[in-house]
Every structure is written in C-alpha cells, then in structure tokens.
Amino acid sequence: MTDKLIIVESPAKANTIKKFLGGNTKVIASMGHIRDLPKSKLGIDEKTLEPEYINIRGKGDLIKSLKKDAKDAKKVYLATDPDREGEAIAWHLANILSINEDEICRVTFNEITKNAVKEAIQKPRKIDMDLTDAQQARRVLDRIVGYKISPVLWKKVQKGLSAGRVQSVAVKLIVDREEEIEKFIPEEYWNIYVKLKDKKSKKSFEAKFYGKDNKKVEIHSEEEVKGILRDIENAKYIVEDIKLGEKKRAPAPPFTTSTMQQEASRKLGFSIKKTMSVAQGLYEGVKITEHGTIGLITYMRTDSTRISEVARAAAKEEITKEFGIEYYENRYYKTKADSQDAHEAIRPTYIDLTPEQIKSDLTSDQYKLYKLIYNRFIASQMANAVYDTVNVKILANDYNFRANGQTLKFKGFMALYVETEDYEEKEEFEKIPPLDKNQELQRENIDTKQSFTEPPPRYTEASLVKTLEEKGIGRPSTYSPTITTILARRYIEKMQKQLHPTDLGRIVNKLLIENFQDVINVEFTAEMEEQFDKIAEGKENWKKVIKDFYAPFQKTVEKVEKELEHVKLEYEVSDVPCEKCGRMMVIKYGRYGKFLACPGYPECQNAKPLVETIDEPCPKCGAKIQIRKTKKKRNYYICENNPEKCDYISWNKPSDEKKKGTTSKAKTKAKKAKAKPKARTKGTVKAKKK
C-alpha cells in the first residue's frame, strides 16, 4: 500500500514533483479535467440551475486507474493548479474518488521547487468551495449564454458558429475599432523646424515651432506656415529661458499573466497561445544539467505583482554581485484593487540559474521567454535610470521655438531591461550645447513638414489583452482561450500582427449587438467578473447570481427567436450566375472561409468555391491569375490553367516579380497547399446539402 498518493494535472508536473519526495509516495496525473458538462445538450437543470456533470468521454480507463491508486493509498492529496480552475478540478476528483469535501486533502504551491512542494504537503487544507463555486458560476453562465445564443446564429448565419459572453465582447472591440478606422477623416497639420548654431561651441541643434506669445499654436495649412515664415524671415533667435533638470525612470513591475503575454508578443513575436504554452512548460519542469527536472518559474496565471521576501533577498544578492549595490533598490509594487492576488507575480524560482547558464538545456522558445521573465524580475528590484535634462525656450520676434535634450547619467535598471509599449511615441531628444540666457543663435536653415492625423491603430494580440484587462473583461486564465477561439471561428484574422474583423465576424457581431445588447457588452461582462470575485470571497451565493441572470435572459432569447423567425440575412451578391437555376450567387461563409451559394437554397443547393482573381494577367499564357492561401494563410498566385495548360505559380504578384522568377522551393510549397481549399470547400458544400 502507498503511504501518499499525490494527484496533479499533467505528467510533466508529476515527473518534476516525484523527485522531490522520497519514501512510499506516488505522484500521478489526472490529465486536466475529468468531469464536465455534456457537449450534446445544455447540461443544466433549467429549474434548479444545477449542473449535470458527466465523466469526460475517453477518460474511463484513467478514472479506473485513479480509483485503484486512491484505494491503495493511505492518504490522497489533490495538488492541482493553485487557481479557481485547479480548485474545481480537485473538487471533481474528490467527488469521483469518494473523498469527503471536509477532508484535509488539498495542497497548493505557487512554484514547483523542493521546499515549496514539501511545505505544501505539510500544510494541507480542505477544498475551498468558494473558489470552486466561482469556477462553477463562470462555467454555468458561459454554457447558458453559449448554448442559448449559438443556435440563433446557426439558424440565421451558418451551422457551427458560437457566441460567448467574453469572446463576443472581444470581437465587438475589434469590429468597433475597425469601424472607427473606416470613419476616420484625416486632418492636416504642419510642423516647422529651425536648425540653430551656437557660435561659441560651433555646435548645431534643432528647435521646433511652439507658438506665439508663449501660447501654443497649431498649424493646419500651408498658408499659415507661409505667414509664419514671412514674419520670422529676418528675425533674431534669442535664448529666452533655459531649464536644467533631472528625470528619473522607474522599472516596470514583475510580470502578471497579461503583461507577460503583451511583452512576449512585442519583444519575441509570440502569440498569446504560444506564450502560455511555453510558460506552462517552464512552470511544470525542465530537465537541467546537474539539477534534474525542476520548475523554472512561478505559476503563470496571476494578476498580482507581489513577490516573496525570499525572492526579494535573492534578487538583491544577484544585482549586487552583477552590477554593484548602487544598482539595487528594494521595491514593493501595489497590486490593482480588483486583483485576485492569490499568487505571486511571475518570476524565476531559482535566481542563481541565469538564462545564459541554462541556455543549452532549454529550447529556443523556452530560453527567450525565461530570459524575458528573469530579466524583468531582476530589473523590477533595480534602481531608477537617471537623465540630465535641458529645456530651451527660443524667441524669434513674437514666435516661440523649443528644444529639449536629455542625457543618460545613470543606467540603473536599463542596464538589464527596458519595457516596450505597443504604440510607443518615439520622442526625439537633441544634444544641446551649453547655452546662456539672452544669447543670440545663428539660424542655419528652416524646414517645414506636412503631416496628417492617423486613425487609432488596429488591435494586436498584446493590445487586445491590455484592453480586456483594463476594462475588467476576463481574468488571467481567459485571455489566451478567448483570442484562440475567435481566431479559430474566423470572426477575426491576424495580418502582420494586427487583428482584423472578417465579414463573418461583422455579421455575427451585428446580429448579437442588435438582439442581445444586454449580454454582449463590456459593462455586463466586467460586472459578471466582479460577481465571480465576490463568490470566490464567500460574499455571494453562486446559484443566486446565475438565477438573477437566467430568468430575464431566457425571456430575451425567446423574444429574439420569434422576431428573427421571418428575418432573412442579406448576403453580398456576386457577379456569378448559378449554372443550375440562373439566380446570381451570393457569398456565404463556411468552416474554411467564403464560398459561393445559390440564394434559392434549399430548393437549389448549388455551391462552389469562391475564387479571387487579380487584374494582372498570367505572364506565361495571359489567362487570369487566382489568389490562393497556404495553411498558414500566406497568399500565393497561380494561373487558372494550372496545372493542365500552364505551370505558372508564385509567391509574388506577376507585376512585382523579379526577372529571375519564382524559386522552385516556393513552387513546391504552393503546389502542396493548392489542393487544400478544393477539398475543404467540397466538405462545406456536402454539409450544406445535408
């Protein structure tokens, strides 16, 4: 008989923990959730709102094995992840293994290190039903919203679509931003720059036009520019005022889930999904030479910036050793008011294992992310960067020019790490020579620059996560699955890191906003997150929260179903006639994108692929050039006669191609990809016929 049985979620985590525990102890994995709501039906009693959990299909043998191991153990510990999801998995495991809710069986650790694991096992507790209920509330509410609204989309748009409380709000944000961009009207503005020379040092610098009589003036036309240039044509440039100062820049706090996702996107080009996958591996354990398998970072789902005193002391030692004591500053970061603060910030578990020391034991992606986490944490405990600043005001007749300069005096944390922003404005700083008040400067030349205001930028994965967090939509565990889902549903697409709504996304968004505006909106979604937090704190009853939502929501669904019964969606009409009945075919959206369908459905069930073409003819035979996509959504160009009569295929538009032509590698890759759209569209058409 086993003395202790420890159940975790993943085999990787199990392998890491095994080596820390001697004696007659067994560590096994549940492989994530073992019970869930059924996929085939709502799975919630609509009178009592009680969830009807079932064992997940395909996990029968695993459950038998878990039961056997639990029966053969003197003591069972449930060591699933230290968050609401992990608490719920532990509760489901207890239910399956007939462990009483009041039994002291739950252990959690924020990092998978020997000390943390051993300490946790010495301090077990009961399953926290408040945390479990908060997860149940989220699961049940999301199931109700998804399973009640999605059928409306199936009837009015197409089968297989889904709506969700968080995912639909994320799509709405992206659609709203796109509409903002489309409606944006650029406004003209001008800047005037004057190059000035200090006669003593013979050094030049640039000053920018500010205004007149010390009041800021914005220039909106070339006529205004010409007027100002006339007024200062023979002006003397006098130094009116000089301000010398010092500017300090503080480091960013250690990572939370969302800031790690944002920074990994900006600095490493990782998708949110990839970041979480790599972080999971670093948390669960990596085999390191002379150390064995160890967890390298703390738990990666957190919204706290708190760090332990042990980690703080280790950071001080590392900074002092590498940079000197003057680079260290003991810092405490304030966690946001609505943060769950259940765990520490994301940080390395072993400060003495620097990224360079263990680089050979890590994959390329693991090394990049570990280095990012490590450097961000160490920098968060370092001194401010210090700049010497100079601001010069210059007078030319009644007009004001200004020049700003700064020099880095002390690097501080910037010796190791600097945070980036998604849409950072690069402020240019001049090297300004020593000047005296009232001295005259020599004008060398004047430049003017016409510019236009720009629309707000499209969301990237990083900036969308930032917005979701700022608006209180979702929590650390939901950002990645939300973005993954709306990309998979083809409601949005990613082009050059930017998120664009698809036509399908716009249609679905319009239908949901017009009919379910009380549910699919930022305020409601954020309010529900607050309700889940209150449930987790034991301040709200989860069934009451669901009950208060369900009754009015069900009435809305019934009303919408009746109102939409006779409403037909308007589809974009193509210029392609249906060869079976003569109607002009419309553009619809299938599982794999756009296709042409007869509007006479179901009487006429004709459908076929939608082929995009360009105006440029085939350089080999003069036929039309079609645009196709590879599996990774990269465009390539192919002759409509390929392969029967013409072998033209290229990554580049014919007009852009160089004389050397397409490489054989590109041809091979594109040829492999070209068969896929046909096969997939055929499948879509088949589904339509059913």
- Helix, strand, coil proportions of the chain in percent (round to 5)? 40, 20, 40
H/E stretch holding 110 reads none
What is the per-residue burial (b if ≥16 Cβ within 10 Å, else e) of 485-518?
A: bbbebbbbbeeebebbbbbbbbbbbebbbebbee
| Cβ–Cβ < 8 Å for 266, 275 | no
Give 443's strand partners: 196
Going by C-alpha positions, the residue among 521, 112, 473 that lies closest to residue 303 is: 473
* 299 catalytic per annotation: yes
CB atoms within 10 A of CB 575: 6
Show contacts of 663-666: CB within 8 Å, 24+ apart: 666/636
In SS3 terms, 119-159 reads as HHHHCCECCCHHHHHHHHHHHHHHHHHHHHHHHHHHHHCCC
What Cα–Cα distance (Å) separates residue 101 from each residue in 86, 92, 98, 105, 630?
15, 10, 9, 9, 52
Single out the catalytic residue among 237, 299, 370, 648: 299
Provide the token pair at 403: 């020049």
Q: How far apart (Å, rounded) are the C-alpha atoms in residues 17 and 108?
A: 12
Going by C-alpha positions, the residue among 454, 477, 546 that lies closest to residue 48 is: 546
What's the CA dihedral at 504, 505, 506, 509 to 10 degrees?
A: 120
H/E stretch holding 271 reads none
Q: How far separated are the first and last CA of the chain, in Å rounded?
A: 56
Taking each helix axis from N to C end, the angle separating 84-96 and 60-71, rounded to the nearest 10 degrees, works out to: 70
Q: Which residues, other chains included, contact 63 with Cβ-Cβ below 8 Å and sequence gap of 6+? A: 34, 55, 96
Q: How far apart (Å, rounded) are the C-alpha atoms in residues 107 and 87?
A: 10
Active site residues: 299
